[in-house]
Each structure stands twice: as structure tokens, then as C-alpha cells.
Structure 1
């Protein structure tokens, strides 16, 4: 009897012990992947160089959770854009293994870095990483980070060219929002009123700076800067696109337009002195912020107007993340890039004003909560129609931009555009040929 009582009282204790053991085992299984990840990179440190901006700040603030999950230590250094470019040029040219991860401007630096063997192709990492959902990135943004068929960088922030306009002026004049370049020119002409301090159109007029914003005019008229390794500045389509830009600036732009980069052009529009303005979507806050712009509540956003080839604005990767080919920690570097460009981090970054390249985030109400409603629709439409470059696709891109920009300056000064295009095309072809021999 006594033995039976002891046995009965022991059963609940044993059962409880068994449940606790099973629960502990299940808990260990839940944490197994985190522990394995932490063990994989334990005692490793990678160095990351980034440019200053919302994306870098979000990544910096979120680093403790990444380090906790992976065991990897990250030495993140943030520089101004100019400092970053200088530091990368010195480090990479010296075949330094530092940094492991770098932030770069794909359309300015990717071809040079690839040609010199400074950055690691990422195709194999993406192919093996089933959880990454690489197909979620917009195609034209990936075009910006690809060279000669190799993926060399992952998009971090994007830009599209859009049309900014004054809603109140169009309404007062009974004009629709321009959907074509013909309609844009017609509306700019009707709203151009210099005696009263109002100009029909404003955009960049500085020789080098204007090229990126000129690009969408060229694409929408069916042209391009080049076709492969053949310069195309003298084609009828490209000349037609350049003529559109020249005519708008020359006939309806403000005085001193040839000295304007984006800050000056945005300043003219944001202060209520221009009816239309075309530039990158990423700088929209200059017009939308009431503290910066007295017309903030009157600003509208529209898809870039269509030319003879339709509406073809650029949709590019402004900044991307890449792996140093000389890094001794490439797997750890990819782990960081995977995390920094994951849906979660892109969502956080976009909520802070950094426009990302993941379609799922742009289609998520949380991902677009900080942007004007009309702006969101324009961006989504632009992503679908976008072209993945906004400047000549060569190594010597600065020199090529000067050649293209000089054509616009000559047009603004009244010189013959076709004649200017003939010379510019020959000069640009020389650059292409020279770069191919390097």
C-alpha cells in the first residue's frame, strides 16, 4: 500500500520532468538557427564603408540586433560622399582587404571597379541564398548594378525622374497635367510670365549636372547615349530628345539657368517661381517640406511625359553595396549585405525617407507611409517603365558627361545642334574605344 502511494505520487513529478525536458529541447530547436548563425561568424569582424544618409543611419541603429543574431562584429564607418569616393579609390587601388563591404555609386564607379577587379561578383551568393528573394528587386535597378552580365552590387537606394508641377497654376489656367512632352511644352508656354516672376519650366543647366536629367528626354524620344560600344549622340532620336530639353530651358527657363545644378533649380521651383520642374524623385522633400517651400501644399507629382517612344524615365540605383574582391571575409560580408538589403531593413530605411529597390516594400502601405499619396503612384508607374541608366555607360563617365552636356550648352547659346552632335558623337566614340583598350 505504501509502495503504491509512493508510485502514484511520483508519476506527476516524472511527467512534469518529462514535459520540461521536451519543452527545453523544443526551445533549443527554435533557437538553433540563430545559434548556428552566431557560431558561424563568432570572433569575426568586418569593416564597412558607407556614405552619409538615411540608409546608413538605419543600418547603424540596427546593427546590435544583426551582431547578436550572427556573432559577427561590424566596424561601420560613415563618410561624406566625397570622402567615401577618395578613400575607396586609395584603398582599392592598393589591393587592401579593408573595407570588406563598400557603398558605391554604380553608374559612376561600377565599370571602373569591375574593370580593375576591385569588386566581387555576387551572382553565386544570390543563387545560393534561397531566402533572399532577389526577384523582389526592380529589374531596372538591377540593370544599374550589373556589368557585362555580372551582378556586382545590390541596390540600396533608387531614383526616378519625375515631373513636379504647380497644381494651383494648372487649375487656374484650366490646363490638364501634361502626359506628353508636347503638352508639357504647350503648358510651359502658357504659364510663362517673366514680368510677374513666373517661368514656365526649370531644370538643371550646368554642363555636367544636367546630363542625368536630359536622359529621360532622350529615352522618351527613342534615343540613347550609345548602343553597346557605338556612340549614338548624332541619331535623330537622340537629337530630338536634346532639342526638347534645350527648347524648354531656352524659351521658358529662368535667367542664369546654365549655372544651375539641382539645388539651384529646386530652389527656383520651391520658391514658387516656376510652373514645371523635372528632376530626381529622391529630392522631393525640397518642394514638399513646408519649412523649405512656401508652395509645399501646391506641389503635384506626375509621371515623366511621353515622347515618340512613350514615357521612359530613368529608374536607377543611386547607391549600392558591394564586396571588396580582396576581402578575407567574403561570406561574412555577404551575410551583412543580405541583412542590410533585406525586406525588413529596406522597409525601415524607406520609412526614414530612403527610396529602396524592393517592389514588395513599395506595394506595402507601411513602406510608403511617409510619402505623398500622389508621389507613390508616380514612383510605382516609373519603376515599371524605367530605364536602368541615366548617363553614358563608360568608365570615363565624367568626361563623357561633359561632352553630352556641352551639346546642350551650345543649343542654349543658339548654335546648331546637329553640327554639335556630329562632333560630340566622334569625341564620345573616342572615349568608348579608349576605355575598351584599358
Structure 2
């Protein structure tokens, strides 16, 4: 590259715009728009739109967006970028698409940040903003942008997803999706077994732990599938929430060994002990594949599968989804948060914020809603999103979804918990024994 050529982080037509300049410009825009008040409504609206376009055209330069995904997910990412460029045609977005997912590639992100080569905008999951802020002060706080940008509708985000975007009371990420967990079931197998429809049973408030266990037993005893249910060990906190337990308190005290948590885990472990479920010590997506191949009659996993199962199963068999069983009278699941942050190393904060707010606005999340559960309430209730017949039941779970309080060592906590509980899934320890070991391992990870 020649010395006179702009780098990826430089504006294409002049000096870089600082965050303070951007905020001043946003304020000036508000004054200018206020001056249109004396015009007729139609003329005023037209002028306002024209003014907004002119202001957007002033945002220039290049940004790097770090994300991941293949197939429909990659397509949705590319479509969000295209949508952004319809509004900001003078900003070039370079997609840094990862080979693996955001968890597996997280160490590589830390290395990028440490070397001073962080992307401008990055996709983050669950605890990652907390870790990036607390350990390396790596993310740009977004509160100032939000306060100064009247086009940004914060109130439209779901409460739980927005809560997960904060670190220490400040906003460091804008949610794209909040994925609850649910129960998927083979409707044909249920019919052959003489069982009631799971969704109707759930809606009636009758899908309890014992009811679900009896269904699993019946489905398997009739030899309709190799296993009556399936799940994956890395979702341990989902099962704990199903029974009203906790992994950590809000002040990060480890309570995974309390009776509610242990009891909920034992409920799930009993399926494995009775050979009603295969070993859950498998990689993510295994239960989904077994269900698609009709080796599982049901499985518990994230709501994202509702967007992929239609293409995988096609017309092989009828299926549906519903809320998870109420274990010990409690209803709850985990919420997986997928969000977008801005690196503190960005040299083009104006373009970075323009990108983040645009791909998470109503249209941006309508695009994302084709492969994920969008974090905006207006999209969740839109005809576009609800045109997928399998997503409406998942909305029930959003009302009861939660997440383990994020810590600076979220990955280490998960690893410790999964390791501590492994003998329980192998039938070598009870849940009461395994959760005591998991507690010690988690406390060590947090120390």
C-alpha cells in the first residue's frame, strides 16, 4: 500500500471524526430538524428525510466487522451489511468472518486486541463484553452515542437482552438476539404413542417434570425412537434454571450446590441413567442431528434450531416446539445473548456507531430474525418474523429466560462447571455429589 493511500481505519476524504465531533454533529442535526417545524407536515417530513440522508452521506471511511457463520447465518450477516450500505453508501465494511464460532475464536480476539489490531466492530456473546471491559478495557462505552442519537430506539429491546448488554451500569454492546431454550418434539411419534400434543399441554400449564418423564418413557417403550429425549451437557445452566436453581448469585457467590440446582440436574441425569437419553457429553448440535435423523423423539436446546430444522427435516416428519417442562413447579430457561460492540481501538467511531445502530434497528433485526430470535420487541411481533410457524411458541420462553450473572471469567466458570458435573452424566455420581465438586471448581476459577 502506498503511503498516500488511506488505511482501513482512515476516512476516505479527510481527517478522522472523533466521538466528540460526532456527538456535536448529532446535536446540530437536532437543532436543524427543529427549525423545520413551521412547514406543512408533508414538506417537513420530506425535508427531514432529505436532511437525514445528507447527514448520513457525510459518514465516510472504512470499518472492519468481526463475525462468524456459514450458510443462512453468513447470508444474513451479508444482508445486514448490504442494508447498512443503503443508508451509509460512503462507508466500506470489511467482513472478518471467522472459521469457527465466537467462543472458540475468543482467544484469537484477545490476541488481536493485545497486538493493537482489534477490529472496529465485533460480534460478542454472553459474558464476553464483561470480560473484555474488565480485563482489558477493550470496548467503547456506547451511552454517549445512545443519548445523542434520537433515531436509536432503546425501549424497543427486550428487557433481558438489554440487561445483558451492560457492564457496570454502562452499555458496551447492542443486542442482536436473545435466544431462549425450548423443547422440540416429533409430532408423528407423539401421535403413534397416543400422547397429547406437547404445545397444547404446555399452553394449558400442564407440562410438568413428571408428565414429560412419562412421555419420554412411553415414546421409548413403544420403540418409536432410539431415545425419548436428548440434550447436551454444556447446557447445564439451562437445566438448573428449569428447576428454579442458580449457578451464581448476583454478587457472584457460587450456589450451584443448593438443593434446587442439584434436584433439577438430577431430574435430567435420570434420563441418562435410565437410558432414555444418550450421553450428553457431546459437541453442540449433536441432539439436533439425532432428532433430525429420528433417533430422538424430543430434545431440549436453543431457539435457533427453529430456523434451521425446516430446511433440514423438510417433509420427512411433522414436528413442533414448545416451552420446557416445569421441573419441581418452576418454569425457567437460559437466555443466550448475541450482541455487537465497538472496539476502543477504532479510529472511525462515527462509522462504527452508524453500523451498530443500523444493523440492530428494526430492519436490521428483521433480516437477522430469519436465523435468530431478534432482540427487538417490534420485530418479535412482526408479520415477517411470525411467518415462520415454529417461532411463536418460543416467545413464551422469553418471559421466563434468564442468564447466570456475567463475570470476567465466564469461560472458565463454564469449563469448571462442565468438568465438575461430568461424572454425574456418566452415572458415577449423584447430582448432590457432582454439584459440590462443581462448586469447588467454579470457586477456584473465580479466585
In structure 2, what is the equivalent of residue 354 of structure 1? 372
Distance 1:165 1:29, change over 3 A: closer
- For 1:411, which of 400, 413, 424 is the aligned residue? 424
Distance 1:199 1:61, change over 3 A: same
Give how far 1:254 is off.
4.6
Give how far 1:300 is off.
1.8
Does 2:400 match 1:385? yes
Does 2:106 match 1:88? no
Unaligned runs of 5+ in 2: 1-42, 202-206
* Contact 1:199 1:275 (C-alpha < 8 Å) held by counterparts: yes
Distance 1:184 1:26, change over 3 A: closer
* Contact 1:396 1:431 (C-alpha < 8 Å) held by counterparts: yes
Give how far 1:148 is off.
2.5
* Contact 1:199 1:253 (C-alpha < 8 Å) held by counterparts: yes
In structure 1, what is the equivalent of residue 131 of structure 2? 112
SS at the partner of 2:229?
A: strand
* Contact 1:272 1:294 (C-alpha < 8 Å) held by counterparts: no
Distance 1:294 1:57, change over 3 A: closer
Task: Measure the CA separation in 2 of the matches of 1:26 and 1:378.
Answer: 39
1:332-365 CA-to-partner distances (Å, cap 9, x unmatched) read: 2111111111101111232x42332111111011
Give how far 1:241 is off.
1.3
Does 2:361 match 1:342? yes
* Contact 1:156 1:321 (C-alpha < 8 Å) held by counterparts: yes
Task: Measure the CA separation in 1 of the matches of 2:247 and 2:45.
Answer: 60
Superposition pairs for residues 295-374 of structure 1, below 5 Å? 296-308=316-328, 310-317=330-337, 319-350=338-369, 352-369=370-387, 371=388, 373=389
- For 2:83, which of 62, 70, 73 is the aligned residue? 62
Distance 1:171 1:35, change over 3 A: same
Aligned residues: 389
* Between 168-177 and 215-224, the greater mean CA deviation after superposition: 168-177
* Contact 2:176 2:375 (C-alpha < 8 Å) held by counterparts: yes
In structure 2, what is the equivalent of residue 190 of structure 1? 218
Superposition pairs for residues 181-330 of structure 1, below 5 Å? 181-193=209-221, 197-204=225-232, 210-212=233-235, 214-227=236-249, 228-255=251-278, 257-289=279-311, 292-293=312-313, 296-308=316-328, 310-317=330-337, 319-330=338-349
Task: Measure the CA separation in 1 of the matches of 2:181 and 2:238.
Answer: 7
Larger Rg: 1
SS at the partner of 1:284?
A: helix
Give how far 1:81 is off.
3.2
* Between 28-37 and 336-345, the greater mean CA deviation after superposition: 28-37
Give how far 1:133 is off.
1.1
Give how far 1:29 is off.
6.5
Give the TM-score taking structure 1 as reference length: 0.81
1:149-197 CA-to-partner distances (Å, cap 9, x unmatched) read: 2221111233210101121222233323261222111211122238665
1:383-410 CA-to-partner distances (Å, cap 9, x unmatched) read: 12211x2x67333333322332234432
* Contact 2:91 2:351 (C-alpha < 8 Å) held by counterparts: yes
In structure 2, what is the equivalent of residue 397 of structure 1? 410
Give how far 1:302 is off.
0.7
Runs of 4 or more above 6 Å deviation: 24-29
Task: Measure the CA separation in 1 of the matches of 2:445 and 2:431.
Answer: 21
Task: Measure the CA separation in 2 of the matches of 1:216 and 1:88.
Answer: 27
Give how far 1:424 is off.
2.0
Task: Measure the CA separation in 2 of the matches of 1:301 and 1:196.
Answer: 18
- For 1:51, which of 68, 89, 92 is the aligned residue? 68
Give how far 1:34 is off.
1.3
In structure 1, what is the equivalent of residue 29 of structure 2? none
Higher relative helix content: 1
1:191-231 CA-to-partner distances (Å, cap 9, x unmatched) read: 22386653211111xxxxx232x323211322111112210
In structure 1, what is the equivalent of residue 161 of structure 2? 141
Task: Measure the CA separation in 1 of the matches of 2:137 and 2:437.
Answer: 33
Distance 1:341 1:406, change over 3 A: same
Does 2:391 match 1:376? yes
Task: Measure the CA separation in 1 of the matches of 2:290 and 2:113.
Answer: 40
Distance 1:121 1:309, change over 3 A: farther
* Contact 1:346 1:361 (C-alpha < 8 Å) held by counterparts: yes
* Contact 1:271 1:295 (C-alpha < 8 Å) held by counterparts: no
SS at the partner of 2:328?
A: coil
Task: Measure the CA separation in 2 of the matches of 1:88 and 1:298.
Answer: 41
Distance 1:327 1:203, change over 3 A: same
Distance 1:377 1:216, change over 3 A: same
